[in-house]
Structure 1
């Protein structure tokens, strides 16, 4: 579903007190995901990427002509203006319509999962193909946030990101999105980002060691990523 096309606040139906809010002011639009307890995150986020411990996930919309001069300093400044703690926030950047973010969630006996994806595909690209490369950040981007309530090993977290990437590529293949350089089916854009946040909640009585497509966790990740990428990409040009 795309809750922000009609409202500013999404509240999880399954994970208590987890919210995502669309807000905008003179400093720019953003989706801020708030979690009651810190998540252990693994990501390629622009700010606090790698492994972090955070309770705020932010997807910040920047102008199409953003040149990526000093994103670390700019993000730190924005977080202060938004009254968010820099050390407890992980931040993605995009030029996509935040109103068209796609949100999906699932509750299982061994975990809960929320997925939020925004998509802008003007710089669609196919990994492994001969194409133009760029030294700097370009406008576009498929950004995906995955919030996992439960326990995962470090290895499973890496496995989960692999599964998410496969699901994204599958959605783009079914859509027929093309690399802007060579016309081949795209596997993403040249600036995609993904965050996986894991709560470590022991209440489910399971520690997930794998997250491939043959596991319950991997199947759920694949389904939610596929669905949200498909919806956000195919509706990105709608009003």
Structure 2
């Protein structure tokens, strides 16, 4: 087994147990407060938890989640005589982040522990994989997880980027050393790698969509969920309306605008245009020129004045 578990992680041949522990019933999690570590660091925290669960501390690897285990996704696939299964728990609405985002806690002081929300993956492969190939399977599965988030346009809570995971994600890859089949390639071009990618992406999407108000394609088809990473929120749109018109519209009215898939269809290119500018692909002149032209066509299509509150909120995409 190869894993990123804080306790007994890495490449191990002596493990007898593994687990995914839920903190969903903790009052801290239910009140959207970060979990408290019971030890100075994550390794000793999970060692203590393992002991409390009555499992052998030296031969058990564990991970934790704020998601309900009933909401886990179980997906299976196979090719030739190789069978694969993956179990995923997921939730990133409160902790989704993008690789390279600013840090949110200090490991040296233990202050500001990460909020709840994580993607935990258990991947079982009915074949023998050398240690290096198992690590390659982790890479492929991680890319699949990030691809699922990209396809759902999951926003980072810590920057204006699209989330690639959360800061507390854990993955475990379990193989069979005694299997008759040995596979040496888990990259994209191999059948094993392709199957891992499809399977993990499917499971991550299912797990994200299982819980209440889950991250499904239909939920994500709204400016409310795709625009927040750029500052377009229910509060900001209501504030713009009050500034422009002197009154505060009902939240229901504003929310209907933000949740309209047709509005998103017009605005999504603007969001991606801003992304390309932030990534350095488009320069400021190219971005601003196309942005103004597109916004003009958007106003014409909806017969909106350029001072409309939605247009005003979108206009802030034009500023860093």
- The answer as to 2:127 corresponding to 1:155 is no
Aligned to 2:72: 101
Report the 3-state secondary structure (helix = DSSP H, G, I; strand = E; otherwise coil) of the residue aligned with 1:195.
strand
Give the aligned CA root-mean-square deviation in angstroms.
Answer: 2.0
In the TM superposition, what is the alpha-carbon distance from 1:238 to its structure 2 partner? 4.8
- Cα 1:168–1:224 shift into 2, 3 Å: same
Q: Which of these residues, 24, 42, 48, is aligned with residue 2 of structure 2?
A: 42
Aligned to 2:206: 231
In the TM superposition, what is the alpha-carbon distance from 1:82 to its structure 2 partner? 3.3
- The answer as to 2:47 corresponding to 1:66 is no
Q: Kindly indicate whether the alpha-carbon contact (under 8 Å) linking 1:125 and 1:180 is maintained by their aligned counterparts in 2.
A: yes
Aligned to 1:168: 145
Moved more, 181-190 or 131-140: 131-140
Report the 3-state secondary structure (helix = DSSP H, G, I; strand = E; otherwise coil) of the residue aligned with 2:148.
helix
Q: Kindly indicate whether the alpha-carbon contact (under 8 Å) linking 2:5 and 2:171 is maintained by their aligned counterparts in 1.
A: yes
In the TM superposition, what is the alpha-carbon distance from 1:148 to its structure 2 partner? 1.4
Q: How many residues align?
A: 196
Q: Which of these residues, 189, 195, 201, is aligned with residue 220 of structure 1?
A: 195
> Which structure 2 segments of 5+ residues have no match?
108-112, 215-320
More helix by share: 2
Aligned to 1:75: 46
In the TM superposition, what is the alpha-carbon distance from 1:42 to its structure 2 partner? 1.0
- Cα 1:230–1:54 shift into 2, 3 Å: same
Q: Kindly indicate whether the alpha-carbon contact (under 8 Å) linking 2:3 and 2:170 is maintained by their aligned counterparts in 1.
A: yes
> Which whole-Å deviations, capped at 9, do the CAs of 1:219-238 have from their partners, x for residues lacking one?
11111110111111123335
Q: Kindly indicate whether the alpha-carbon contact (under 8 Å) linking 1:149 and 1:200 is maintained by their aligned counterparts in 2.
A: no
Q: Which of these residues, 70, 80, 95, is aligned with residue 123 of structure 1?
A: 95
In the TM superposition, what is the alpha-carbon distance from 1:77 to its structure 2 partner? 4.0
Counterpart Cα distance in 1 of 2:44 and 2:136? 31
- The answer as to 2:161 corresponding to 1:184 is yes
Q: Kindly indicate whether the alpha-carbon contact (under 8 Å) linking 1:175 and 1:234 is maintained by their aligned counterparts in 2.
A: no
**Normalising by the residue count of structure 2, what TM-score does the alignment of the two structures yield?**
0.57
Q: Kindly indicate whether the alpha-carbon contact (under 8 Å) linking 1:140 and 1:191 is maintained by their aligned counterparts in 2.
A: yes
Counterpart Cα distance in 2 of 1:100 and 1:134? 28
Moved more, 222-231 or 99-108: 99-108
More strand by share: 1
Q: Which has the higher contact order (CA 8 A, sep 6+)?
A: 1
> Which whole-Å deviations, capped at 9, do the CAs of 1:91-117 have from their partners, x for residues lacking one?
001112221110111233242211011
Q: Which of these residues, 172, 176, 194, is aligned with residue 171 of structure 2?
A: 194
